[in-house]
Structure 1
Amino acid sequence: MPTTTPAPDAPLYIVLNAGSGAAETDERRAAIEAVLRAAGRRFHIELVDDPERIDQQAKAQAERARADGAILVAAGGDGTINAVARQAVEHGCPFGALPQGTFNYFGRTHGIPQDLTDAVHALLRASVRPVQIGTVNGRIFLVNASIGLYPKLLEEREHDKRQFGRSRLVAALSALKTLVLPHRRLRLSLEAEGKEIHLRTSTLFVGNNRLQMEQVGLTDVTPAVADGELAALAPKPVGRLRMLLLMARGALGLLADTDDLVAFGFRRMTVRTPRYGRKRLKAAVDGEVLHLTAPLQFEALAGKLLLLVPAPGDAVSG
């Protein structure tokens, strides 16, 4: 894809999520300000302390960025990055990310350092590269979107993290708890690339992140999302023990060796619920749980996000 370099003095409008607590937020803000002031770069930091207002605040900063020839930047986890990137796409702004979440699939895929100071330095030397996004019913996602068991798993994980702290161990134990509890299976009709698939599954997962596919061992099964496709994954109807084994295989990067999973790549896909028609479905979109109305329309859109990616010397491997 073509790359361009933004103006050296382009202002940075940064949307910073304050959800991690006052002390940590102040520390992150100070780290960002120190690097940018030392570089003599113009910037504004918009602090989001109410998750309900992030869309409104991100939109306001995107409008300013478009008017001022500025760069719109998200500082936070995948949900924050998604919300700000959505406004960057709608307003045609160059977009930078300072990832601060637990898994950081988006940032790691594009070589963005997780250390905040390093990430800000990398942002100052970055160039713009158009990258692919996914959409479901017009809602963009950078990493994944899903229905069924996975949104429930995310809701339980957030509840447990609030109670026991944010760590990968808490996330793993919370997922295990959700998997062993009873759950309903979906009846779905999928139409993609001229083919129709009928299936019963506990969850339908659509990925737009090659690193995530690599970590579960599916890059040989599903086409590379970098080539303009999304990856659809759905476990076949199995008992709890086989579901746990399936999840264990995913954790070990061995999903390519199982027959208990439907996996394929696509550019456009329609998902219907034949039994319920226009049913409202709980969905997870880059970690945010919301409701969407069936049929669901998934699509890969190449080059829609004008992402600032680190220079080779600043990039880190995922």
Structure 2
Amino acid sequence: MPVPPYDPASPLLFVINAAAGAHDVNAKRAVIESALAAHGRLGELLVCHPAELPRVAARAADAAMAWRSAVVAVGGDGSLNAVAQAAHTAGCAMGVVPYGTFNYFARTHGIPTDPAAAAQLLMNAKPQPVQVGAINDRVFLVNASLGIYPELLQDREAYKARFGRSRWVAFVAACATLLRAQRRLRLHIELGERVRDVQTLTLFVGNNRLQLEQLGADPRDTVAGTPGHGSMAALMLRPIGTRSMIGLLLHGAMGRLGEAAGVESFEFQHLVVRPRLLPGRREVMVAFDGEVSRMRAPIDFRVLDRPLYLLQALS
């Protein structure tokens, strides 16, 4: 796909998640308006609640394509996902002003985690292709999964609502989820011509090198290249006892998950997963970029041929 048309003088469209991050909407507006004023740029600020994000993002992406401009996600990874879905579908460029807890996507692609600095960077940036993945019909930027990881995300949101947003709160929530993990997934996996049946607590698919490196689980064996350069990484956690789970948590905390017993990892470009479901059930709980949803089986993970065009600083 050719680079989308982009006029650096055209108005930028900012999709602002009113619920993302610790800053209020007025503070987010001030950051963006200050950057626009400093560079003599025009912009349209679209503030919405999480439930409205897909609709507002789709409308903004269509306008950005017509104006030879870009749609900018202002929020955390979930907000970025909604805007990326719209931008990828419309074929327009996308920018990022991060307000999340971890901001893996922004950090991987050289976008400052300070919102003011990220907004300033947008003013002189140009679209560059970045790899995106898909889980069934949904785009994802950082990761997608099924099994215990979607449960972990739900627990993390509950802990954040009670104790506030921080990386320590997220870590404690993860520990609580893993230590009570019981349910096993029975999966039929198709990886090219290789077919196998496995039992696992979770199947985690990563499209972000920074997150995988921090976990210490960056596989390098099955596909030429590394995650984020033509392939993605899959991690499977085999069912283990409580004592082994504690050891796993310690390995993960030290960034050495790849060394832990019970963790299998591999790279791929296309992976089909058929969960063994209870009679009458056709859907499975999945997570992608921090969002939790239900999808109809089978679950299809793949690297998309068409990239997302991200506004990045000129090199």
Class of the TM-score when normalised by the shorter of the 2 chains: over 0.9
By how many angstroms is 1:6 displaced? 3.6
Give per-residue Cα distances to partners, 1:26-55, cap 9 Å, x unaligned: 11111110110221111100001x211111
User: Which whole-Å CA distance do the structure 1 matches of 2:23 and 2:143 have between them?
Assistant: 31
Q: Could you tell me which residue of structure 2 aligns to residue 240 of structure 1?
A: 242
* Alignment TM-score, normalising by the size of structure 2: 0.93
Q: Could you tell me which residue of structure 1 aligns to residue 14 of structure 2?
A: 14
Does the CA-based 8 Å contact 1:185-1:200 persist in structure 2? yes
Q: 1:255 to 1:180 in 2, by over 3 A?
A: closer
By how many angstroms is 1:23 displaced? 6.2
Residues 94-173 of structure 1 aligned to structure 2 (within 5 Å): 94-173=93-172
User: Which whole-Å CA distance do the structure 1 matches of 2:50 and 2:277 have between them?
Assistant: 35
1:297 aligns with 2:312: no
By how many angstroms is 1:175 displaced? 1.1
Q: Could you tell me which residue of structure 2 aligns to residue 200 of structure 1?
A: 199
User: Which whole-Å CA distance do the structure 1 matches of 2:189 and 2:273 have between them?
Assistant: 5
By how many angstroms is 1:181 displaced? 1.7
Give per-residue Cα distances to partners, 1:50-92, cap 9 Å, x unaligned: 2111111111111111111111110100000000010000000
Aligned sequence identity (%):
43
Q: Could you tell me which residue of structure 1 aligns to residue 77 of structure 2?
A: 78
By how many angstroms is 1:217 displaced? 1.4
By how many angstroms is 1:281 displaced? 0.7
Q: Could you tell me which residue of structure 2 aligns to residue 35 of structure 1?
A: 35
Does the CA-based 8 Å contact 2:20-2:100 persist in structure 1? no
1:269 aligns with 2:271: yes
By how many angstroms is 1:97 displaced? 0.8
* Structure 2 letter corresponding to 1:40: G
By how many angstroms is 1:126 displaced? 1.4
Q: Could you tell me which residue of structure 1 aligns to residue 218 of structure 2?
A: 219
Does the CA-based 8 Å contact 1:4-1:127 persist in structure 2? no
Residues 276-291 of structure 1 aligned to structure 2 (within 5 Å): 276=278, 279-291=282-294
Give the gaps of 5 or more residues in structure 1.
313-318
* Alignment TM-score, normalising by the size of structure 1: 0.92
User: Which whole-Å CA distance do the structure 1 matches of 2:244 and 2:76 have between them?
Assistant: 32
Give the gaps of 5 or more residues in structure 2.
none
* Structure 2 letter corresponding to 1:54: L
User: Which whole-Å CA distance do the structure 2 matches of 1:220 and 1:83 have between them?
Assistant: 28
Aligned-pair Cα RMSD in Å: 2.0
Q: Could you tell me which residue of structure 2 aligns to residue 316 of structure 1?
A: none
Greater displacement, 21-30 / 121-130: 21-30
Does the CA-based 8 Å contact 1:5-1:128 persist in structure 2? no
Q: Could you tell me which residue of structure 2 aligns to residue 45 of structure 1?
A: 45
